[in-house]
A and B are shown apart, each in its own frame.
Chain A
């Protein structure tokens, strides 16, 4: 009698176990969702447009594998005409997905969190003078920002740098030009510097003026 009950109980447990195995062995091989990836910068192009008309100068740096280990490539030198005023605008792309992702728009939307900083060989430009505003104590140094953010935290519009203006000095070659985009959520103020927040990109080009 007891043995039969034991057997019954055993069969119950075995069945329970088998039933659960069957239920839980269901196949699921979903793919991860496709994401737009605006966080990755691969291509940055500097576009110098002479204000008085003339040839537009473009210089590109690209990191074709994004977060991969291959090094960044700076494809072009910047060659500008002497004593000429240029408007500098930027094309910022993520080249990895198809079609490319335009990150410039994203920065424009969040302009209160971003600022571009610049450094260059002293005297390369007659306006702005000096060597740029990169560095913890150089933030107030002259740069001709032509835009300001729309939602400044300290009440007045702070510079962004998607559009800047540059007047070249006399001819020289082998100078350098550095552009640095800082992402400064809750950090950007009238006095924040290139060392505040996180760096989105930091690129150095060879600058020739002829």
Chain B
């Protein structure tokens, strides 16, 4: 059986070690071998797409053997995606990135690695902090599951990206629909499942060593993994180190844009009869620089900066990381017990602990002290029951307990930007599916009870406290129809999310702007006042409620694959931040932002056409379109992804000049100007009074969205015996451009050309290829 899906594997080869006896499984995955001499034998089972299994077996017993899926290369990406879907998400469009894709650029962020997928892009603050956006939604509207645990980090604002080292990931699954029922109710936009190395049994000892270097930023990465699996035990250890200095845009240095990252990970599995017990630990230490020129605390310098063609501060290239920067450490420990108490029933217990320590440094009088210093402890417990098929229903029942405790550490000389808070959540869910011929029906329900306890301080050190709680129901229904040459899947899912502490309580200076949370401002006769902290229950703040309807049409015929995903997402009380006015401070006129809520509609489509022209030449055309609108106020939304297209040409030379594989890929992409951006009011016009804005004025931005841009990337990847590697050039044409989704678009261009060389060596082949 397939270890993940519990589906039988037909026509797998079964051989008795030390004898010439062999057979294969039938269409239901059953097999029998007769005429064996010894009572106990070792069976060797193999099937294409799965890792080989060698396991002891007593005669005459009815045992189930589980094979683990193997990842072999780019070609199988879509096949993997079809096969690996978890119960409750089968009817949702999803994409899997495998290790080869992830590791081709080992220094990239999770957001950047995923952005090759249609409908996915990233919001960023510079080159180090990149948050994935799925269909226009990012931040904590997307669940990032790190080895099955919701990644517990400071998930607020655009300046906090999940602290995940992608070189230790063996697979990343991206689910484009509202997966709230299965993974957590706030997944309005989708989910990202990051899995580290699989703990496979019966794997000979292996060591993988990777190194890479890149020209832009003179960065390098080195990563190492070793592991082994015996009959009952399996383990791995891995580590990675990355350092990048200041990057350069085509016309100037991007002063203070480097990063340093150290990652460690380990896993251990014990297999005993029908029990699997595994523990995993991972650690990530990051020091991320933020572009110096973006932290001009003076509004006057900000105005000067956004009007200038070049950043106001450009220094010689350096590898030092100075303020402004973010230093985070993330620890994740997880224990999992799987108990297959019968052939089709399984109980899974997961316990997780995460500690996230974050310090942020600003350019300021006491720059050596962090201005933000937070410890976030996350505990996560899940008990899931995969029940045996019951009247044709297959499914999963689960209960979860999730808690977070955020504490501000003393010594920042600043009033805390987010309060201390405790969140506790009890959840229970059920997902069921029924298969009939080529039809699969799915449905799921989830009930969450969440309580929040908040303690904050105002700038004058006065305390404020608040408590609030929610009970919510989330539901999803889906349907899949398989055809000979394709499939159709459709899913309607709801999700809800409460405003995060930053959206509720932020007050004052945040990077280059002033910002006020939903509970920190009120309207008095058309004027905004920020004198009081409102109580949640007395305020008009409502949780976000999303209804996402997503459909995928897939046709696979005559070397052509078309995938069209069409979706709509209606979000009640959508929370977003927007410029609201200019306020005069002792520093001069400053741009003020508020968090606001409105009913929003997202309509979009992603299209992919892959075709094979000859045995070695194939192309991949992609298009993403998203239309968004604040339909409550009938005005545009801000910071939404523009239309993008891409065309890749791949030349797979197969074995070539003694190489075991050689693939050349040229990717061109064009990102349009965001034509749905709000109107532009230059900040000077507000300062000098030629434009007056109030709370009721139409939404505006202070700079036009950047123009569209064309980018070209080129890569060559190869394999030679135990060595694999790639040479990639990003931004081949050294184009100067700015991304609308980069918060630093006001200040500087994106990096220019980058040449990346990466090599991976397996000291002992992990698995022999069939």
**Known A-B contacts A37-B415, A69-B528, A199-B301; A32 and B457 likewise in contact (beta carbons under 8 Å):** yes
A36 and B521: CB pair below 8 A? Answer: no
Residues of A within 8 A of B460 (CB): 96-98
Chain A residue nearest to B454 (CB atoms) is A29
In the complex the two chains form, what is the Cα distance from A96 to B300 in whole Å? 24
Contact of B587 among A6, A97, A199 (CB under 8 A): A199
Chain A residue nearest to B373 (CB atoms) is A33
A32 and B455: CB pair below 8 A? Answer: yes
Chain A residue nearest to B337 (CB atoms) is A13
B529 and A32: CB pair below 8 A? Answer: no
Q: Is A16 an interface residue (CB 8 A)?
A: yes
Chain B residue nearest to A199 (CB atoms) is B298
Q: Is A130 an interface residue (CB 8 A)?
A: no
Q: Is A154 an interface residue (CB 8 A)?
A: no
Chain B residue nearest to A34 (CB atoms) is B461
Of A17-25, A80-88, A144-152, A163-171, the one contacting chain B is A17-25
Of A46-54, A59-67, A120-128, the one contacting chain B is A59-67
In the complex the two chains form, what is the Cα distance from A198 to B585 in whole Å? 14
**Known A-B contacts A35-B461, A67-B507, A67-B514; A41 and B301 likewise in contact (beta carbons under 8 Å):** no
Chain B nearest CB, measured from A112 CB (Å): 12
A44 and B422: CB pair below 8 A? Answer: no
Chain B residue nearest to A187 (CB atoms) is B313
Q: Is A185 an interface residue (CB 8 A)?
A: yes
Residues of A within 8 A of B364 (CB): 39, 183
**Known A-B contacts A10-B347, A61-B586, A69-B528; A195 and B304 likewise in contact (beta carbons under 8 Å):** yes
B365 and A38: CB pair below 8 A? Answer: yes
Interface residues as binary, A190-210 with B (CB distance below 8 Å gives 1, 0 otherwise): 000001001111110000000
Contact of B366 among A32, A39, A96 (CB under 8 A): A39
Interface residues in B394-442 (C-beta closer than 8 Å to A): 401, 403, 405, 407-416, 419-420, 422, 424
**Known A-B contacts A13-B337, A37-B459, A183-B365; A67 and B420 likewise in contact (beta carbons under 8 Å):** no
A29 and B422: CB pair below 8 A? Answer: yes
Interface residues as binary, B345-372 with A (CB distance below 8 Å gives 1, 0 otherwise): 0010101000000000001111100000
Q: Is A40 an interface residue (CB 8 A)?
A: yes
Interface residues in B514-538 (C-beta closer than 8 Å to A): 514, 516, 521, 528-531
Q: Is A55 an interface residue (CB 8 A)?
A: no
Residues of A within 8 A of B414 (CB): 35, 37, 39
Bin chain A's interface residue count. 35 or more
A32 and B586: CB pair below 8 A? Answer: no
In the complex the two chains form, what is the Cα distance from A29 to B592 in whole Å? 32
Chain B nearest CB, measured from A38 CB (Å): 6
In the complex the two chains form, what is the Cα distance from A61 to B339 in whole Å? 70
Residues of A within 8 A of B339 (CB): 9, 13
Chain B nearest CB, measured from A60 CB (Å): 11
Q: Is B381 an interface residue (CB 8 A)?
A: yes
Q: Is B296 an interface residue (CB 8 A)?
A: yes
Contact of B296 among A16, A185, A198 (CB under 8 A): A198
Q: Is B453 an interface residue (CB 8 A)?
A: yes
Q: Is B20 an interface residue (CB 8 A)?
A: no
Residues of A within 8 A of B337 (CB): 13
Q: Is A42 an interface residue (CB 8 A)?
A: yes
Chain B nearest CB, measured from A107 CB (Å): 8
Q: Is B42 an interface residue (CB 8 A)?
A: no
Residues of B within 8 Å of A, CB-based: how many? Answer: 67
A67 and B300: CB pair below 8 A? Answer: no
**Known A-B contacts A38-B366, A69-B516, A202-B300; A33 and B413 likewise in contact (beta carbons under 8 Å):** no
**Known A-B contacts A39-B365, A72-B584; A29 and B453 likewise in contact (beta carbons under 8 Å):** yes
A71 and B583: CB pair below 8 A? Answer: yes
Residues of A within 8 A of B657 (CB): none
Q: Is B478 an interface residue (CB 8 A)?
A: no
In the complex the two chains form, what is the Cα distance from A21 to B529 in whole Å? 43
Chain A nearest CB, measured from B414 CB (Å): 6
Contact of A203 among B297, B347, B405, B586 (CB under 8 A): B586
Chain A nearest CB, measured from B134 CB (Å): 31
Q: Known pairs A40-B459, A68-B507, A201-B586. 19 more at Cβ < 8 A?
A: A6-B341, A6-B342, A20-B351, A20-B381, A31-B463, A33-B410, A65-B530, A67-B514, A68-B531, A69-B516, A69-B529, A69-B581, A98-B460, A98-B461, A195-B304, A198-B298, A202-B300, A202-B587, A202-B588
Residues of chain A having any CB pair with chain B under 8 Å: 6, 9-10, 13, 16-17, 20-21, 24-25, 28-42, 44, 61, 63, 65-72, 96-98, 106, 110, 113, 183, 185, 195, 198-203
Q: Which 6 A-B pairs have the closest CB atoms?
A: A67-B508, A199-B298, A33-B410, A201-B586, A68-B530, A96-B460
> Can you sample 26 A-B contacts with CB below 8 Å?
A10-B341, A13-B383, A16-B349, A17-B349, A20-B381, A21-B381, A21-B401, A24-B381, A28-B405, A30-B420, A31-B455, A31-B457, A34-B461, A35-B412, A36-B413, A37-B415, A63-B584, A66-B459, A67-B509, A69-B528, A69-B583, A71-B584, A106-B365, A198-B301, A202-B300, A202-B588
